[in-house]
Amino acid sequence: MAHINDLPAEIILLIFEEFDTSRLLQLEKVCQKWENVLRSKTSPWQTGIELDCRTKSSEEKQKLQAILARSRGEIHAWKITISDSTVGFYRDTFDRIPTSKVQSLHIKLLYDRDLIELADYNGIELTDNFRIDYVDPTCYRLDRLQEKIEAIQLQRERDYDILVHAVKQCSDLTSLNFCIDNMISLLLGSDLKSHPLARCKLKSLSLEGIDLDSLCNDGSIFNMVSQAQHIDILGYDILGSDMNVVRIVNAAKDTLETCSLELPGILDPDDSSRSINLPRLQKLRISSHDPLNGSMQYSSTCPNLRYLRLSGCLPSALCADLLTDSVSVLHLELHLELIKELCQSLRNNLRRCSNLSTIRLTEVKIGLKDVLDELTTLPIEEFVVDGTCDSCEVFPQFFRERSKKLGTKRMKLLLFYHYDEPNLKVLEQLSQYCEVVQAFNKNREDSTYSEEDAQLLRYGRKLGL
């Protein structure tokens, strides 16, 4: 029987290039031949590295040093998850990023609750910027504790500067993903023009929790994304105005194909109207969580849009522009606190999607009937619902009405619920109108399902449920 070691070294090397570098460190210990193959070329080691730096771990540092030695200092993709309390410990790691000819950089900066826990333990409440807001009268040594908290926070702000400086020194990036916890205040921009990062032409940009006002300050970001095919600007507490979000996206209008946006709901005093014009865009997720600004005026032109995901307080005019006959897949997030605002924006607009084949509803709890009433005449082939079982009660009536208007054409229906199982009577009624009725508990392990059901469950998760 043939053994993998019987293969030529070149073929073995091609196989090894499918593994990440952490696994390669393990594979080279299997036998002398594998070690020789892996040490003979630098290419497998240059593909990328993933580091978990949430704790102060010497093992992660050693792993990095080993990979850098084997790749001759070149690592083209970095993915780092780090805590704000460990940034200083890994500062030498960040120094290696710009010199590694990195092309793809993914950084996730998490907030460590140690400062809040320290304050809580001593009967102190902190403001968002970690200043003392309230003191328990029984708290002793307040001055010393306040000095300690402020000293820790000051050091972390210096550590943030080290991290940001490393990012700004990268000159070969084509993909940047920078995600920070909303408890952390970090400025990426304001002086980009004077750093190598400003000369990068990004194909992909993902930002979460970044201060957009500072990022757009010198205009460098617009040149950086002028050839971007993918842009994400997310984060419930985005610092900046809607106009800055739109300006970044429009800077890539000639190349942009996929996009996810969360609009802060803050009106720029210099701009009373906003326009999103993306001729090549095929996939868009857009949301806003500020009901006070839901009436602000937007206009949009996306003639090739195929996949659309909507949530929050979106203006009716924007929904009217986006919900056209080009959309074939529609994903609606029906959050409980914002369901009224979204339904108002959807009313009389959903019917415009005359070529809609798939609809997905998530966070379904109430208000579902208002959405379904708009869908009875559309040629939907696949219906995917993620919500509570109570929401299933309105489906039989919807499918009956749909059957009267469109005939006996049946659709595929997938239900994902969280706790109690749907009513069996409801499922039986649905089976009269649907080709497939499947109900899955998202909190149950895959192993409790048959293989067929497990495949459908994984399919639902692939859809983002």
Asked if 383 and 390 touch (Cβ cutoff 8 Å), the reply is: no
Confidence at residue 126, expressed as pLDDT on a 0 to 100 scale: 53
Confidence at residue 133, expressed as pLDDT on a 0 to 100 scale: 47
What is the DSSP-derived secondary structure letter of residue 391? G
Confidence at residue 183, expressed as pLDDT on a 0 to 100 scale: 65
**Angle (nearest 5°) at CA 364 between 316 and 388:** 170
pLDDT in tens, 416-440: 665 556 667 777 777 777 776 666 5
pLDDT in tens, 296-340: 566 788 999 999 998 877 777 788 888 888 999 998 886 655 556
How many of the other CB atoms lie within 10 Å of CB of 39? Answer: 12
Whether 349 maps to a domain, the answer reads: no
The model's confidence at residue 245, banded by pLDDT at 50, 70 and 90, is: confident
The model's confidence at residue 219, banded by pLDDT at 50, 70 and 90, is: confident
Q: Domain of 398?
A: 383-465
Whether 363 maps to a domain, the answer reads: no
The model's confidence at residue 406, banded by pLDDT at 50, 70 and 90, is: confident
Confidence at residue 279, expressed as pLDDT on a 0 to 100 scale: 92
Confidence at residue 451, expressed as pLDDT on a 0 to 100 scale: 52
Confidence at residue 32, expressed as pLDDT on a 0 to 100 scale: 80
Task: Among 89-103, 141-155, 208-222, 248-262, name the one with the lowest average pLDDT.
Answer: 141-155
The three-class DSSP label of residue 67 is: helix
Task: With a cut of 80, say whether residue 76 has pLDDT above it.
Answer: yes
Task: With a cut of 80, say whether residue 87 has pLDDT above it.
Answer: yes
Which amino acid belongs to residue 387? Answer: G
The model's confidence at residue 34, banded by pLDDT at 50, 70 and 90, is: confident
- State the Cα–Cα distance between residues 398 and 404, nearest whole angstrom: 10
pLDDT in tens, 107-137: 998 877 655 555 555 555 555 555 554 444 4
Confidence at residue 238, expressed as pLDDT on a 0 to 100 scale: 58
Q: Provide Rg for the chain, Cα atoms.
A: 26
Q: What is the mean pLDDT of residues 259-272?
A: 70
**Angle (nearest 5°) at CA 130 between 127 and 135:** 65
Q: Give this prediction's pTM.
A: 0.80
Task: Among 7-16, 143-152, 241-250, 327-336, name the one with the lowest average pLDDT.
Answer: 143-152
Confidence at residue 465, expressed as pLDDT on a 0 to 100 scale: 40
Q: At 45, which helix (H) or strand (E)?
A: helix 43-46
Whether 25 maps to a domain, the answer reads: yes
Confidence at residue 281, expressed as pLDDT on a 0 to 100 scale: 94
Interhelix angle 32-40/9-16, rounded to 10 degrees, is 80
Q: Which residue has the higher pLDDT, 348 or 128?
A: 348
Whether 104 maps to a domain, the answer reads: no
Count up the domains in the chain and report the number: 2
- With a pLDDT cut of 90, the percent of the chain lying above it is 16
Whether 275 maps to a domain, the answer reads: no
Confidence at residue 180, expressed as pLDDT on a 0 to 100 scale: 85
Q: What is the mean pLDDT of residues 268-295?
A: 71
The model's confidence at residue 449, banded by pLDDT at 50, 70 and 90, is: very low
Whether 36 maps to a domain, the answer reads: yes
CA 345 to chain centre: 24
Task: With a cut of 80, say whether residue 253 has pLDDT above it.
Answer: yes
pLDDT in tens, 160-206: 888 888 999 999 999 999 998 866 667 776 678 889 999 999 999 99
Confidence at residue 196, expressed as pLDDT on a 0 to 100 scale: 93
CA 101 to chain centre: 25
Phi, psi of 147 (to 5 degrees): -60, -40
Asked if 317 and 298 touch (Cβ cutoff 8 Å), the reply is: yes
The residue with tokens 């399919």 is 459
Confidence at residue 134, expressed as pLDDT on a 0 to 100 scale: 47
Confidence at residue 144, expressed as pLDDT on a 0 to 100 scale: 66
Mean pLDDT, the chain, rounded, equals 76
> Following DSSP, what letter does each residue of 178-246 receive, concatenated?
EEE-TT------SSGGGSGGGG---SEEEEES-BHHHHTSSSHHHHHTTT-SEEEEE-TT-BS-HHHHH
The model's confidence at residue 231, banded by pLDDT at 50, 70 and 90, is: very high
Q: What is the mean pLDDT of residues 396-424?
A: 72
Confidence at residue 203, expressed as pLDDT on a 0 to 100 scale: 96
Whether 460 maps to a domain, the answer reads: yes
Whether 106 maps to a domain, the answer reads: no
Confidence at residue 9, expressed as pLDDT on a 0 to 100 scale: 74
Confidence at residue 258, expressed as pLDDT on a 0 to 100 scale: 95
Confidence at residue 182, expressed as pLDDT on a 0 to 100 scale: 67
Asked if 77 and 104 touch (Cβ cutoff 8 Å), the reply is: yes
- State the Cα–Cα distance between residues 267 and 272, nearest whole angstrom: 7
Q: What is the mean pLDDT of residues 246-270?
A: 83
